[in-house]
Each structure stands twice: as C-alpha cells, then as structure tokens.
Structure 1
Amino acid sequence: MMISALVLPRESDRKRAAFGRGSQARPMRFDLGRSALWTFVVLSAFGTGWGTTIKTENSVAADRTLDQAATLVELSDRSGGFCSIVGAADLELAEAFVRLGAFQVHLLCPEERICRQLRRKAAERAIADRISGQTYSGGALPYTDNLLNLVVVESSGIWSKQDAAAAAAELFRVSAPLGTILLRWSAADGGPGRAIADQLRKLGAEPLQANAALAGSWLCFRKPWPDGIDEWTHYLHGPDGNAVANDRVVGPPVHLQWVGPPLWLRSHESDSSISTVVTARGRIFYICDEAPISLRGPYPLPDKWSLIARDAFNGALLWKVPIRRWGWREWKPSWFTPRPGDFPLDIRKRLVAVGDRVYVTLGYDAPITELDARTGRILKTYDGTEHASEILYVDGTLITSAPVGEPLRLQVLAIDAATGRIRWRSQKVYRGTTVDYYRWTAMHGKVPVPKKIYPAPNLATDGKVIALIDGPQLVGLDFQSGRELWRADFPLDERDQTAGRIRSQGNLWNGTMILADGVVLHASPYKLAGFDATTGRLLWSQPKAYIGHLWYEWKEVFVVDGLVWTWDANLVREPLETPGGQDSARQKGRRRRKQTSLFPAFVNAYDLHTGELKKKVPLGPIFKTHHHHRCYRNKATVRYILASRRGTEFVDLNRGEHTVHNWVRSTCHVGMMPANGLQYVPPHPCQCYIEEKLSGFYALASDSADWKPESDSSASRLVRGPAYGEGRDGPAPDPDADWPTFRHDNRRSGATRASVGERAERVWQTSIGRKVSAPIAVADRVFVALVDEHGVVCLKADSGRHLWSYFVGGRIDSPPTYARGRLLFGSTDGWVYCLRASDGALVWRFRAAPAERLVGAFDQFESAWPVHGSVLVRDDTVYFVAGRSSELDGGL
C-alpha cells in the first residue's frame, strides 16, 4: 500500500470560491501545509481507483470551523478587512478567517496565559503576521472608532448583564459603517448575549437574517451607514463636478485612523505615482505605481502600475489588479514632469466607484472595464470605449468621451452599465480643450512636447444635461438622447488669453465645470459665470483673480446649500519676514530681495441663480506665507474648504474659525479626499515643510466624541513577569567583541573595534521568519526581531540553533537592546518589554502608550502610539518614545 497526502475539495472551499478573487487580482493565501486540515487518502499500489478517506477528529472539527467561518464571512459581505474576536479561547476560528480571505484578526483573550499560547500557535502555523492579540477583561474596547469590519463575540460572559448597554455601545462604536457584529448565543445561555443584542437594536444596528447553519447559535447585526458621512465616487466627488462632500464629520485632523503604503512617491520630477483616488461603500480605490523609488529617469526600467483596493476605515489591502500600459511612456517622450503640466489632466477622471462596482480604464488607451469592488474580478469590458478620456456614472448610465478623427475631436457616448449597450453617440464631435496642459513650457522654457495627450471635454452632468467644452464655447447635451441642446460663449476676460504666459487662442481653460440645481458653472483664471442648464443663457458673472504661484487657486469653486463659494478677486500683498536657516544661507553673498505674499483676504459666497454676493468670510493671515500653493485642486465639505496653500487650511464656512495644518499635504495633481468622515492624504514627494512630513498614505480623523480613554496610573501600566525581581546575572557586553544594540552603541555609530579576517566563510544558515531585523550579538548568543510576525528570537552564535522565542502584540521594527542579562525592546502594540536574555522569560512590560487604542497600520493592528524596537539603555534607565507625529493623538 502507498499512503499519500492530498487536499480534497470541500464545501467550505466552494463557499470560499463564491466570494474569492478573480485570477487577475491578488491571490488569497490558503496554506494548508501547517494547519492540520489535510485529508489522507489510501491508494492501492496495484490499481488506479480511489481508496478510503480517513479523517482525524481534529480535521473534522477544523472542517466544521472552516464551514462556519465561510458562512460568517459570506454574511458580512466582505472579502477582507479587520476582524476582532472577543473572548477568544482558541485559534481555530481566527485561522479560518485568515485562510478564507484578506483578513487581519485581533484576539481579545480572557487570560494572559491564553494570549501567549495563541500568539505562539500563530507563529508555529506561519500566520503570526495575520493574527495578533491581547488580554481583555471588559470595559472600553481597545480600538479606534469605526475600525472593524467584523466583530465576533465568541463569549459574551466577559460582560455582566448590567454591562449590556455599555458593551453594545462599544461594539457599535468600533464597528466600521456596514461592519458586521456577530454574537455567539444559545437559548440556554444565561449570559448577557440577548441583552446586548437588544441594546444593539436600540443603537440602530440592523438585524441580519442568519441562514440555517447559523440560526440558533449566532445573533447577527450590521452597522448602518451614518447620515453624517459621505462617499467620494468620482475625482471631483460626483458626476456633477462639484468637489464638495456632504460630510459633517470631516474636520481638522487630530487622530490617526490608518496609514499604509506607499511611504514615498517615486520622484518629485516625474509624473505622480498616484493618478487618482475614489471611495464607495467603505472601500477606497486608487491607481498607483509601486516600482522602486528614485529610479525614474532616462532608464529602461519598467513602472509597476496597479489598481489597488483597500478598506476605507482601516486600510487593509483587499486586492490589486495590474495596469500594464500607464504612465509617462504612454503620452510623452520624456520622464521629466514639472509640477503644473505636460501630462493628461483628465487622467484623474478615469476611475469611478459606485456601490459594489468599479469602472476604470486598465491602460491609457484601454476601454472601460467594470470590476467587482469586493474581489477585483473583471466583470465586463465595454466595446467601443477605447481611448476613453473621462468617465461619469449616473443611475446605471456611463457617460464618456473618446477621441476620433484627425485632427482629434471628441465624441460623447452614453452606455448602459449593466448590459454594455451603447445607448447613444453624440451626432457632433467636439474640440474639448488643452489649455492648461503645457504651463511649464510657457513659464520656464522648452521641454519635450507630449506626443499623445487627448483634448479634455471637462464633462459634468446632473442626470438631465451634460455640459462640456468645445474650444471657445460651452455646450449642453440632452442626457437621454445626446442631442445638442445649446452652445454658449463664455465671457472671457481679456487677461484670460495670456494668463500664466499661456496663449489660449480664445479656447476655454480646463477649469471648473459644475452642474447644480439647473445652473452650469464654469471658471477661467479671471472670470466665473453661471448659465441656465436648460437653455445655455448667461445668468451672471463675477470677476476672479489669477495668482501665478497659486497654480490651482482659480479653479476653486464650490456649491454648498445654494451658495457658490470662491476666493475674493481683490488680493492683498504684504511683506514677509525672511526666515532663517536655509533661506538665509541662500542669500549670503548677494543682495536680499524683499519678499512679499499675495493672497485673498476673503472667501465669498454668491447666490447660485443670480450671482448676488451673499456672504464674505474673512480669512485673516492663513494664506500669508512663502512658496506656492500645493500642486493640486482643493476639495470641500459642507462645513469646510480644505485649502492647500501650505499644507491643509481648514476654512470654516460657518463660523470663520480657520485652522492651519502645514504638516498635512498630499499627492501632486491628485490632492486630498474628504470622505467617510475622514481626510485621506496620499503621500507626496516634496521636501517642503520636511520637519513634520507624514510618510505614507494616511487617513486622518477629527476629534472623536465617542472614544474616551480609561483613566489609569503608571502602576497599572506596569505588568510584572515571572522573572521580575531576579538579579541581573548576564554578562556585560564586550565593546570590542559584541554588538549589543542597534548600530552597535548608543551613539548609533555602526562601528566596532573588533577585527575580522579578509575572507568570510559561511558557518551556518537558518530560516526563522519572513522579515528579519538586523541582529545583535552578545557572547555566544544572537538576537533578532521577526518584524511582521511580532517576535524576538535567540539563536546560538556558533551553530544557529534556536534557543528560545517570545511573541508580543505587534510588529518589532528593529533589533532589541541587550543590557546586563536583560533584553529590551519596543513594539508597535505600544508596549516596552524586558526579557531575561538567557531563556526569554518576561521580567516586565510597560505600556508606553497613554491608552489602549489600536489603529490600522500597513495592514496590521498597531497602537496609535507605537514604540520602535531599538530602545536606548543608559545607566540602568530605558529611554523610548511612543507615538507617530507631534501633531497626532496628543503628540509623542
């Protein structure tokens, strides 16, 4: 007889496939090699028939758990995200969630002993980068608001019945909008499960109908979408072109919600590494080049563009779809791109997300493609939409334009999104505009002319009329038929002909185009005008001011509650104080020039239908500063304009209580996105205001009215381990032979007086983790951190033999520090740990974070106040810093 180990398809696998990814998306990890989920099959050595299936008790239980997890995930309507299991006593359900999709799981364990066991099991099963945990005995849940897509309460006995209201409020608070709350329950359960469920209903949680597999054992709820937050489905919020979110939660940034990659964009001198960003139904989508940074230029090195989907409330990676023909090679001969122009300005309008669907061109000249927003699976490609330049979506209809003929003209198309049928093509073709494309050439000299940049129609629609640009005129099309309704001359100011040293030749600028309440709004650098959307009749006009160094200022027009907001045309010029440091050094040896700042003193509100001035809000000195406006358009909510003169200036439209946040700035040409109650800030490649630069893709939250830290003392933050109070019996490091800390010593010199031979030979090699930190070495021991798997490992220096390991609640981003027989390190879980170096026993751990509050960070749970792994020890005192920024969550 011959015994082989095979994996057989099971019901749970079929359920998994039902909500799995397409072949073009990031594949799910489903590693059975370490999971006790093998099925053993006996095959006859003398035949080809199947033998008898033998299942162990453990594998049968694992199958049941996987089936149950698949049903729970299917009920949640999420293919990935952040999950918490409250009252976790084993690893099986958590492991099943990890195997089924892109889930990060955090365990809240009733005892420290159980927590340590589960962390170690996760490491043994090679899933410690997907599962973390800590102890929890009731009270506030250790998560920031709206973080979790799936909350599973395995045991509600952690609360009393008297705690039901508080427990339900916490479960509701930490669940993301559209997140799922699952309470394990039985009729014989005398615990608070039913009472918590009743309280969830009172809070507005929607009961979910459990199927037969869950009925009687789980109570299921979904957190509804809150009234006060809004999506951002198109580049300028919606198809109407009005870059205003109906969001009353977005406000001045105070807290971190999540941070993710990329840390940096590829180059300041080339096209932006992020092309556009949108969000719908709790997911965020963006087109990004993930090739190595600082390698752009005249090199034959490929870009690496993808359409990426993340959870909008925790940043968890959901899927990626590659985009093969994108980037500067598709439209120009040179990689060099000065900030203002010579790239397709309407490329940011190539991505739309609505509900559970995404519409995108997966290539610069590719047709429009529809994808499943949950999985990234391609559902259909729309024939006849090749070279589409802009995409709008309204009530099941896609509106786009495609270049035709020679010279290039634009034809507008309407497409049934469900069937792909082209409903109509415009009978006429239109010139669009290219004014504002070639600014740098005009301002600063010759650069290679782009070879294939299509005219921009600047489409906008309200579902009744489609407005666009046709050279020097505005045009209105009937939404239902594509018939041309009207065309109108725009009242250009004479100065519009040469603004920014660009010769417009009478053509309109690719600026504001908004349809709101029967009015078409368009802006040039020096004029703002409103037209009747039905007839094209000019209703009113107002002057605007063009400020050369505020490149995008003239495009800023926002409609809020029937008022048209834009900057006052009367500008103020005031002297600036010459700063010290770098600017002063530049002035040495030459005559200083008096610097001034030119800026608007007011933001004005005009009546949408008459153009009458209704309100003026003073701006004070918030725009009085050096340098230029950020290289992207501003956005707004119904409460604020998020201006970007320096970083982010929150212009308060109601009370005039403006705030300035120079440390928050975004991707060139794309800008920020206020949506989902958060301020989304893609990374930027600039060194401007480098002292407080945020590195990474950030989602920032305003001050929370719901989360309140529980009061505690320094004593309660100190946890003593079994080795606490024992003497320090370890050897002191030899400065000439050992390497006891990161970069050798407290000066981080990276140098030692030890001598090594000229020829190095490998003595041993061992595999211990996916991502390993730099090592430290003392006497006969080597210590390393397993960065993403939350562990510290001790090896024998002469053989590489594993001596011990210790696992904690978060990443350890750098090597530990050795001091007098102790090993000390920090973790992104917000704690500092001290172990006995000889055997890894815990001496003590101290919570450096001021409170237990977990956020999303690079696809894992981390404290809002992480601690770097390499702490500094001097004279028996440990020094460390907890936090991410001086400006977030109370600082460092």
Structure 2
Amino acid sequence: MHQCPIRTWSIAVMCLLGLFSASAVAAEPSAAAQPSAAAVRSATGIAEGLAVVVGGSADLPLDLATDGRLLVHWLVADSLAADAARLADTARAAIHERGLGGRVIVGTLSSDGHLPHPDRFVNLVVSASERLKDAEIQRVLAVRGAAYLHRKGQWQAVAKIADERIDGWFQHWYDATGNCVSKDRVAGFPQAVQWQHGPAMEDGTADGKAVRIADGRLVVVDNGTGDLVCRDAGNGLLLWRIPAQLAHHDDVALSDGRIYCYGSATAAAPGTDWRRQRSVAPLVAFDLATGKLLQTFDQALSKGSVAAIEIDEGGTKNRRDVVPWFVVSDQVIVQGYGPELIVLDRRTGARRWQKTLQGASWFSPVVSGDQVLAAEAVQPGKRERYDASGQVQAVAAFALADGAPRWRNEQVHPVRDLIDKKTGPFQGRAGFKPMSVADGLVALHTASYQARQGHTVAVLDAKDGRELWQKSYQVGQLYDNASQRVVIRGGEVILMDGMGIHRFAARTGTPIGETLTVGGRSARANSACTSSRATVDCLIANAWLYVGSDNKPRGFFGARSACGQGVFPANGLVFVLPTACDCGDYTRGYEALAPRLPGSPIADDARLVRAGSIPAAAGAPTGGWKCFLGNTQRLSAGAALGPKDLSERWTIQAAKTVSGPLDADRRNSERYLGALTAPVAAAGLVVVAAPEIHAVLAFAADTGKPRWRFLANGKVDSPPTLVPDLGLAVFGCDDGSVTALRLSDGSLAWRFLAAPTDGVAMQHGHLASAFPLPGSTLVLGDTVIAVAGHHTDLSGLRCWALAAATGAVLSQRVVSADTRAVVTNGLAVADADGKSWWIGKQLHLAVDLKDVTAGAPPILLDRNGDRIRFRTDESRGGSTHGWGGAMQGPGRGHRLAVDGGQAFILTDPTTGARHPVRANQSAVVQCLAVGGPNKNPVWAASVAALGNKTSYSALIKAGDRVYIGGGPRGGGPGFVQVLAAADGKLVQELAVPARVTECGLAAAEGRLLVSCEDGSLVALGGD
C-alpha cells in the first residue's frame, strides 16, 4: 500500500525507480545476478500466463509484464523483515510509475517458503531463494509450466513434472467412447474458486456448448465472435485467441496437441450472428499450443454441406437442421452428419469408408475398440440443452478399419407415439440420449428435459449387439429426470437422474445398494437441466450432487453451470460454464473450482495493522453521497443539486484504460466496469477507485484537482464508503482486506485481513485473494461490516464487525450454506433502521452478526447487479429469463432509485433479449408509486421520447430531477439525460467523454458527478 500527495508523486517515484533499478530487494541475501526478461523467456519458453518472481530488483518483474501477456506476482521481501511493508510500498510506487498497476502485484515470501498459490496455478517461477523448495515450486507450477532457478551457481530452466493423478476432458462426452468418466483422481467436491472469468452470463451455453481441457489448457468458443479461445486451465489467463468462425455449440475435440473443429483461420464479417451460424466450414485442426492452423481435412464433410431434413412431428411437417457430430480416436475421425457416416484417417485425412442411410440420420457416433457404433435416428439429433434424438430405429456397429457391418440392433427401446397437442395434454417424450461404451458394453438410455414418460436404460454386448438387460421407469415430477446420464464404471452401470444415483451390475442389471440422494433428491430446480459427469473416484449428478469414494452424497449449491451441460472434472478441478438462468443464487462465469483451500491460515494477531493515531470523532457533515448508490440502503437518491440547468464545471482524466492482451481479455467480462468506479463525495472530496490499476483516487470537489492517491494490492471494484465524522474512507479489496484511509491525505489508518488464509485465486484476469471483498463496505454507525468470500457453499462467507475508528474486531462468524443461507457474496444493504443488513434475499444479520429472521431487503441486487455490465457488447448478453430483476425493491429494473413514496426504474432496452433489439417505443424509465393500489406507472419515458438511445447504464434521483446516463458499448461519447421527476419529461441532455460507468452517477457537493468507462471524471453543475 502506498499513498502520496499528487504534487510530490512524480519526483518521489523517479527516485524510487532509480533505487529499485540499482539495488536488489531480495527475499534473502543472494549474490546471483538477476537474469533479463529475454533470457527467462528464451530459457523457459514461457511468454503468457502468470509469473512469480521472488526477490530481486524491479527490472525483471516490470520487463516481464511490459508487453501485457504476463501477469506478474513479485514477492519482494521476507514477510518477517522489519521493513517488509516499506519495501512493498516502494515497489508499488515503481510499478505504477511505469503504468503497470494491475499487471504487477506485490507480495512477500513467507518465512517457511510456502507460496500462497493453488496447485498447478503458476506458469513461470523465477527465484534464487534457497528457502523456496523444489517441491513447492513443482506444486504451484501449471501443467506445461517452467521455473528459472539459481542453483549451484548458475541459472537453469526446470520443467513441470507431469502429474499422473490429473486428466483432461477432451471431447463433448469426455472422449470418443462417450463414457463420461474422467480418470482425474484430484477433482472433487468444490471448496474454493481457483479462477473465474467472463462472460459471466453468456447466452448460448444452454445449447450444447462445452469446454475442452487437455495438457493444462482450456479451449472454448467465444459466443459473440466465433473466436477459438485458449486459457490456462490452472489460472484462466488468456494464452491465445484466434478467429475461427465457430458456432457456439460446434463440436470441438482435443487430441495429441491438436484442436479438431469445423472452422476457419480468417475473421468473420462484422455483425455475424454466431447463434444462427449456417455457413459452410471445413473440418480443420489447430495447434493447441499456438492456435496455428495445421491441417484442413478435404475429404471430410464440411459443416453446412448437409441440407436440413423434413420430418413429421405429430402430424406437422417441419424442417430441422442437422447437427454435424464427430469424435476423434487415436486412429480415426468419425463424422455422423445427416445420412452420412464417414471415417477418416486421423493422420492423413484420407477417407477410409462411408455409410449412407435412407430416410434417417446418424446420431451419437462412438468408437468401441475396433468398432464404430452409431444410432440411426428417424428424427435428427438436437444439440441445444437436450443432446438427444426424439426417435431411433436402430443401433449399428461397423469395423473401424474398413466399415464392414458387425451387427445391428433394432430393439433398442420401445417406441412411444407423440402425445397430440390437439387431442390431449401435451407432454414432451423422452428422447434417445448419446451412447456410452466401455468394458465391452454399450449403455443406452432415454430421457429428456421435463418429460415424464418413456424412460429406459438398456445395456448391449458391444461384441454382437445382444441386449443384456433393460429397465423402464416413470418419474414423478417434470424436473426429476432432466439431467440423466448413464456411465459405465468399475463393473457397474450408473444412472444419474433427478431422482437419485442408481447403480446396477453392468452385465446383469441387478440393483446395487440404495439410491443415493440428499434429502430424497439429487437435483434442485437450479440443476434440473444440467447434465451429469463422473471421475474414477467421484460421481457428479446434475452439477449438484457429489458422491466421492466414501459413497456419501453431498449437495453443492455454489455453482451450477449452463443448462444441459453440467460441470467438467479435469486438471484437478471442476470446471463450470456461464449461465444466465435465475433459478438459484450461485457464482457465475467460466469457473474452475478446487477441492481444497489454497494458502496458509492467517493468525488472528496478524490480521490488523494500524498506522498513526486513532481519528477523533467529529460532528458528521450534512449532505454528501457517502457510499455507493447513495446511502446504506442503496436507494440511489439524494438532495437537489440547486440550479435546474447543468453545465460542465470540470472534466479530468482520472485514470487511463490499460492496453495489452490480458487487459483486452478482462474487457470480455461483465465484471469489467472500465477505468473508474462510480464516484462518492463528501467533505469537499470526490473519491473513486480505479479497478484496473488497483488504486483509490481523491479529487477536490470544487475544481477536480488531484488531492491524493492510494495504491492497493488488488482490484477495488466499487468506491469506498466515506465516514467524514471520523475523517476516513473505508473500502474492501480483492486481496481479502478491508482498509481505512485518512480523508485528509490518503494515508493508511488501518488495514484488516478478513480472508481466512493467504491463498490467492484469479478473478477475471486479476490476481486476488481466494476470499475477496466487494469494494463498497457497509458502515453502520461506528461499525464496519466486512464480508470475505465467494459463496456460502464455497467454504462459507467470513463475516466481520469492526470498529470503524480502529479496525478492532467486535464480532465475527462464518456463514455457510449448511447452516444459514445459500447466497453469493455481494453488496451489503442496510435496513431502514441501520441495525441490520442483507446480502441477497436470504442472509439477514444484525450489526453484531446475529441472525435476524424478520423483514425483507429494501433493495435486492440480483446476480450482483450493481457492479456488472449487462452486456459486454451488442451481440452478447441477455437471458432466457430476462434481465428485469437485476435490482428489485418497490419495482424491478436494471437500475432502481427510491425516494419516499416513489420508485424510479431504468430498463436498458438492449438487455431484454439475447440479440440486439430495436425498441422504438419501449419504456426506458418508469415512475411507480410505492405501495400503490396497482402496478401501473405514474409515468413512463419511452425510447422515442428520450431520443432513441438504447444503451443505458445509470440512474439516480436528486431533488425533483431524475438523472440517467449511458452511451455506446463499443466506444464514442456518452450522455447524461435529465428528466423531470414529476412527469418524466426530458428537460436536458449533456454529452460526456465516454459511456457512463455502471451506476456511475452521484449527486453531492452541488454537483452531478459522472464516472466514464474511459477514466474520465466529470462534474456538472449550475452557474
């Protein structure tokens, strides 16, 4: 942490840079000359990901981070050194002077040489420290990572030793057999978020999208662009991104360092809708390490080359697109595309053989030893959330080498007629699901989303196709069957569905043991359409029910994954896809969940650091916008600004956007807010956080001149809470701490470590604590409420009540999903009396952290709706369930302000659907009477009435005016509009430099304060 008055900043840091370049700041004495960044890259081959540099001067970590492809964690000193804090502050100053804040993060090396990083998390370690043992280095190194170590008088590169306990997830259903059983022996019940990235709520993930993991890399399709994206599987950082023109649900397979998919190495035309992609694309292979195009399979069928098929659905003729299924084995590529089944030599691409159906399509091709199996589907298979075919006439087997017929079984399942919508209650019928083959067996089953009838499980002998056994059953509730999957493991056939986990003897079908459930269920509404997976040691039913080697079922509420897809156990982790559904309160985004907490426990006597004298209480100044969203109830309402007409009083560039591959990748997330948070203001100051460079900034409210700057050690995602009567600004940080600064000069008053351990994680491209805190900290009276963690079911939320003046602990508790509530950590909201507070709609605690059972939150911030952009661009975002409830209270909207008996609701027209909308008459702002007799608005301001602007991000109420702001997401000037609170008439519009930050308006100090995504801070006021 470092604070400095702006006037002396440049001179001081120039001196510090000279000091850091000339002398080493070592974790322990060492005579080793520090290598250059070029030498490190050349020796290790590591140029992307996360680097850990132990000791040395500033030159190496800064040079490694300069090109924006490596994030650097610099452990500058021994944590027990008397001057460790000073050295860390000095290092942060040097980093920020080079413009590398947020790219180089400063830490200290523990006295025992233990690193705070999770297993398989770090791509590069550079160290001359003998305290850092080889075993510890190997533990943290990512798959394909490397270390550059000074040993026996010389620098040498050391490669990561392969870990035989972990496995990948190579194809849609694990591998070419379709048997969803990973060999990973580390992945299991989630305890911590190891990394999280965006998009957090991406559409299309319900439609067959899946991640692929191999060789420590995760590959996924970007829904908005069709790009192929490769991340490090251990930390989520971007390794490469290439244009590939992929549809979001296209099959992708990883094998022997190659990526097989239908794609192109050229960029798509602007505006291409990848959710409706129908263009022809060849089958190609890219290099997993670099993304370079290696091979085009000219003898394969190209995606889009098979026409849609007309089918009879309950007496109605419909045309249905055909899914181009394919799998890759160690010898061949098998394509099942419409009526064509084609086998290619994987190495040469030559076509070995082809089979053509009449009046049917191939579905679920799999490889079983020396055979290729596929189902003959009367109705072509769907991808979407189902991955099923409505009706199958047979399963056939062919010799892998030459396509000679082996067997064909027409008695695969009883065929049921569709229930006619016209003559009776319509009900979906179970469809034929993808096959699983293993141990000489073929497991078949039928199921479908929200269907009660026609559910069967059958097992065939893979050698001759004989049916060994079959069981039929009917489920009781629509949701009970939805996420069925059958796997073959350890001599058992295991059915995982919404009624439980059922085990059968593989060759006889004899039931084994009891059905495994939690509370009589193995699915909740939030997992009803989420597929099941397994490892050799763990069953994961519906992404919710985990059964380990101890055979004890445990329910998990912390993450859900996308509709129909489930989670993916690989690389020692459980991987989760984004979801936009509203059926539960869980963490969101691309996530990697670890089976244990990282780091070492923090001793209670090491949590609090105080600096200087304790501030004396003073009379609280009136007015101000002291915390995010205006007050502790987050009502977004304040006092009138004075003159009706506004004009620009001052505009400053408070912070700059950061460029580089990793920084550009951060923008691909709804959690990216821009260069500035929303402002807060009181006592003559305007204070903001700069989340991308890990800083808190203060400016004079009357002139905009800089007053002070504080350098945090992590991202601060929302503005501090100002406590003028104590002269403090208090904020939480991604590094697991809560900090109080003196308003007078930005110096540290106290800092409290709220996380249970010193373990780190990766949060949307930022190195963070495994237990981060929201920036906006609730201050109730003389008590600070601090909550660290991700979710009550991810090792719980650590709740602290601290004395605002001193940081002293008043009370503490751990809130877990087992004992209290199922909620994601987010912005705390106070009750009207200021004696209790909420997170979400389940967690309600008093100031002393005791349970409160009565009441409802004045504002509910669904999906952390206060601190997200609802789209990252015009082609991505929205939800199958809509975005109307991001803020809920007296009304529901994307932004909500409440002032007395009225509620003002902002709805961004572009976020109500999956695609860009042209809402010519849609209401942007509505005024509702709180507690009125009906829900009809007092007034509504339409898109047309407001000048046909369609991208809004902020709303507040001040006096008799409503202020709204927004701007284009792709760049260009933003705007602020002023509406009369009485009737919604537009009375004024002003331009600002860029799109207004989410919730980026504040009314205080006689000014309308505006934060913009490009780092501009604007003050508007009257003459």
- What TM-score results when the alignment is normalised by the length of structure 1? 0.70
Is contact 1:142–1:854 with CA below 8 Å preserved after alignment?
A: no
CA distance in 2, matches of 1:180, 1:500: 62
CA distance in 1, matches of 2:255, 2:44: 22
CA distance in 1, matches of 2:207, 2:223: 5
Match of 1:83? 51
CA distance in 2, matches of 1:857, 1:743: 24
Is contact 1:551–1:631 with CA below 8 Å preserved after alignment?
A: no
Is contact 1:112–1:134 with CA below 8 Å preserved after alignment?
A: no
After TM superposition, the structure 1 = structure 2 runs for residues 577-656 of structure 1, keeping only pairs within 5 Å, are 600=499, 603-608=502-507, 610-611=508-509, 613=511, 617-619=515-517, 621-623=519-521, 627=525, 630-644=528-542, 648-652=544-548, 655-656=550-551
CA distance in 1, matches of 2:769, 2:420: 47
- Match among 68, 71, 76 for residue 104 of structure 1: 71
Tell me: CA distance 1:120–1:174, structure 2 relative to 1, closer, same or farther (3 Å). same
Match of 1:439? none
Is contact 2:253–2:328 with CA below 8 Å preserved after alignment?
A: yes
- Match among 435, 454, 458 for residue 513 of structure 1: 435
CA distance in 2, matches of 1:554, 1:152: 42
CA distance in 1, matches of 2:555, 2:771: 23
Match of 1:871? 777
Tell me: CA distance 1:533–1:322, structure 2 relative to 1, closer, same or farther (3 Å). same
Match of 2:629? 743
Deviates most, 628-637 or 247-256: 628-637
Secondary structure at 1:156's aligned position in 2? coil
Q: Deviations over 1:466-496 (max 9, x none)?
A: 10012411111221223333322224235x4
Match of 2:644? 758
Match of 1:687? 582
Tell me: CA distance 1:666–1:456, structure 2 relative to 1, closer, same or farther (3 Å). farther
Match of 1:225? 162
Secondary structure at 2:38's aligned position in 1? helix
- Match among 279, 302, 306 for residue 386 of structure 1: 302
Match of 2:202? 265
Q: Deviations over 1:251-287 (max 9, x none)?
A: 2222221211122234xxx773772211111111222
Secondary structure at 2:137's aligned position in 1? helix
Structure 1 residue 717 and structure 2 residue 651: aligned?
no
Tell me: CA distance 1:567–1:838, structure 2 relative to 1, closer, same or farther (3 Å). closer
Q: Deviations over 1:185-223 (max 9, x none)?
A: 452xxxxxxxxxxxxxxxxxxxxxxxxxxxx323x3333
Match of 1:356? 257
1:425 to partner: Cα distance:
3.2
CA distance in 2, matches of 1:634, 1:477: 29
Q: Deviations over 1:88-118 (max 9, x none)?
A: x433222333345632211111132232222
- Match among 723, 738, 758 for residue 852 of structure 1: 758
CA distance in 1, matches of 2:699, 2:776: 18
Tell me: CA distance 1:169–1:217, structure 2 relative to 1, closer, same or farther (3 Å). closer
Is contact 1:265–1:272 with CA below 8 Å preserved after alignment?
A: no
- Match among 217, 233, 254 for residue 283 of structure 1: 217
Tell me: CA distance 1:869–1:553, structure 2 relative to 1, closer, same or farther (3 Å). closer
Letter in 2 for 1:607: A
Secondary structure at 1:252's aligned position in 2? coil
Structure 1 residue 430 and structure 2 residue 357: aligned?
yes
Is contact 1:674–1:680 with CA below 8 Å preserved after alignment?
A: yes
Q: Deviations over 1:92-147 (max 9, x none)?
A: 22233334563221111113223222222322222222221123342363524314
Backbone CA RMSD of aligned residues: 3.5
- Match among 556, 576, 590 for residue 697 of structure 1: 590
Is contact 1:823–1:837 with CA below 8 Å preserved after alignment?
A: yes
CA distance in 1, matches of 2:173, 2:420: 24
CA distance in 1, matches of 2:145, 2:575: 20
Q: Percent identity?
A: 26
1:514 to partner: Cα distance:
2.2
Tell me: CA distance 1:103–1:780, structure 2 relative to 1, closer, same or farther (3 Å). same
CA distance in 1, matches of 2:489, 2:290: 35
Tell me: CA distance 1:73–1:807, structure 2 relative to 1, closer, same or farther (3 Å). farther
Match of 1:238? 175
Is contact 1:544–1:554 with CA below 8 Å preserved after alignment?
A: no
Q: Deviations over 1:819-839 (max 9, x none)?
A: 232222211101122222222
Is contact 1:261–1:696 with CA below 8 Å preserved after alignment?
A: yes
Letter in 1 for 2:632: N
Tell me: CA distance 1:552–1:500, structure 2 relative to 1, closer, same or farther (3 Å). farther
- Match among 459, 462, 469 for residue 375 of structure 2: 469
Deviates most, 527-536 or 232-241: 527-536
> Which structure's residues are more often helix, by fraction?
1
1:386 to partner: Cα distance:
0.7
Tell me: CA distance 1:876–1:604, structure 2 relative to 1, closer, same or farther (3 Å). closer
CA distance in 2, matches of 1:795, 1:620: 55
CA distance in 2, matches of 1:322, 1:708: 38
Is contact 2:117–2:599 with CA below 8 Å preserved after alignment?
A: no
1:697 to partner: Cα distance:
2.4
After TM superposition, the structure 1 = structure 2 runs for residues 277-356 of structure 1, keeping only pairs within 5 Å, are 277-290=211-224, 304-322=225-243, 324=245, 326=247, 347=249, 350-356=251-257
1:813 to partner: Cα distance:
0.7
CA distance in 1, matches of 2:615, 2:183: 62
Is contact 2:397–2:407 with CA below 8 Å preserved after alignment?
A: yes
Structure 1 residue 66 and structure 2 residue 4: aligned?
no
Letter in 2 for 1:283: R
Tell me: CA distance 1:752–1:698, structure 2 relative to 1, closer, same or farther (3 Å). same
CA distance in 2, matches of 1:565, 1:510: 17
Is contact 1:410–1:430 with CA below 8 Å preserved after alignment?
A: yes
1:788 to partner: Cα distance:
1.7
Match of 1:374? 289
Match of 1:136? 109
CA distance in 2, matches of 1:741, 1:664: 30
Match of 2:122? 149
Paired residue total: 685
Tell me: CA distance 1:811–1:432, structure 2 relative to 1, closer, same or farther (3 Å). farther
Tell me: CA distance 1:601–1:694, structure 2 relative to 1, closer, same or farther (3 Å). closer
Is contact 1:551–1:629 with CA below 8 Å preserved after alignment?
A: no
CA distance in 2, matches of 1:878, 1:848: 12
Secondary structure at 1:171's aligned position in 2? helix
1:781 to partner: Cα distance:
2.7
Tell me: CA distance 1:800–1:499, structure 2 relative to 1, closer, same or farther (3 Å). same
Is contact 2:443–2:493 with CA below 8 Å preserved after alignment?
A: no
Q: Deviations over 1:527-583 (max 9, x none)?
A: 433334343344444445566724755852111123222269xxxxxxxxxxxxxxx
Secondary structure at 1:275's aligned position in 2? coil
Match of 2:938? none
Q: Deviations over 1:412-450 (max 9, x none)?
A: 131434x4x323231x303696xxxxxxxxxxxxxxxxx
CA distance in 1, matches of 2:476, 2:544: 18
Is contact 1:305–1:324 with CA below 8 Å preserved after alignment?
A: yes
Letter in 1 for 2:332: T
> Which structure's residues are more often strand, by fraction?
2
- What TM-score results when the alignment is normalised by the length of structure 2? 0.62
Which residues of structure 1 form unaligned runs of 5+?
1-34, 37-55, 188-215, 291-303, 328-346, 404-408, 434-454, 569-598
- Match among 399, 407, 411 for residue 334 of structure 2: 399
Secondary structure at 2:797's aligned position in 1? coil
